[in-house]
Amino acid sequence: NENLDLILGLSLDFGIPTLLVSSSLVFSALKLDNNLIFHDRVDAGCQLAAHPYLQKIKSLPLNEKNSYLVISLPRGGTVVGDEVAKQLKITHDLVFSRKIPCPRQPEFAIGAVSELGDVIWNDYAKQEKLIDKPHVQQSKDKQIQEAQRRKKFIVVNVNHWKV
């Protein structure tokens, strides 16, 4: 399906080929031309895993599969990413991210940060030279700590809940 090409995000930024899965990407493509392309998140994962490019990964020997990774964002992306990883028999991990709010308009994001401290600033933050302002740096640091806290909470509780 050509629509699936729009939402597959393959990155080499992590040092190995990595499929990036975000439920917002999947569900922004949920309705294209008024046609429902996914029934739910599990179906989205199955359809993504069936993509011809990813099917090549499925047929690789185990030692080569170990060089691939599915990364998803918590909440809806986790379900999609887990299904893709199961279908392809490759590793699945989560990346915890947080938005960096605009100082005077907290609902407006000027950037995003991961629990590892990776930061992406939007054009507005760059143009307005907000990035180096002390209160923006404090907000960024606070969001990194919150992403780390959430990851720790989820990892601890998921390991506790496993049967």
Look at residues 65, 1, 63 and name the one whose alpha carbon lies nearest to residue 33. Answer: 1
- Are 25 and 80 part of one and the same domain? yes
Domain boundary among 94, 115, 146: 94
| Average of per-residue pLDDT values in the chain | 77
88 shares a domain with 103: no
Quick one: 143 and 72 in the same domain?
no
Residues 22, 36, single domain; the answer is yes
Q: What SS3 class is residue 148?
A: helix
The residues, ordered by sequence, that sit 6+ positions from 40 with a Cβ below 8 Å of its Cβ are none
Q: How many structural domains is the chain composed of?
A: 2
Residue 66, pLDDT above cutoff 90: no
Query: Is the confidence at residue 113, as pLDDT, over 60?
Result: yes
**Parent domain of 107:** 97-161
How do residues 14-49 score in pLDDT, each as one tens digit?
A: 455 555 555 444 444 444 455 557 778 888 889 888
Q: Are 72 and 81 in contact (CB under 8 A)?
A: yes
- Model's pTM, two decimal places? 0.67
pLDDT at 57: 87
Please check whether residues 88 and 35 belong to one and the same domain: yes
pLDDT of residue 2: 44
Q: Indicate if 111 and 136 belong to the same structural domain.
A: yes
Locate 112 and state its tokens: 């995003």
Residue 7's pLDDT is: 44
End of a domain among 94, 124, 149?
94
pLDDT band at 4 (very low <50, low <70, confident <90, very high): very low
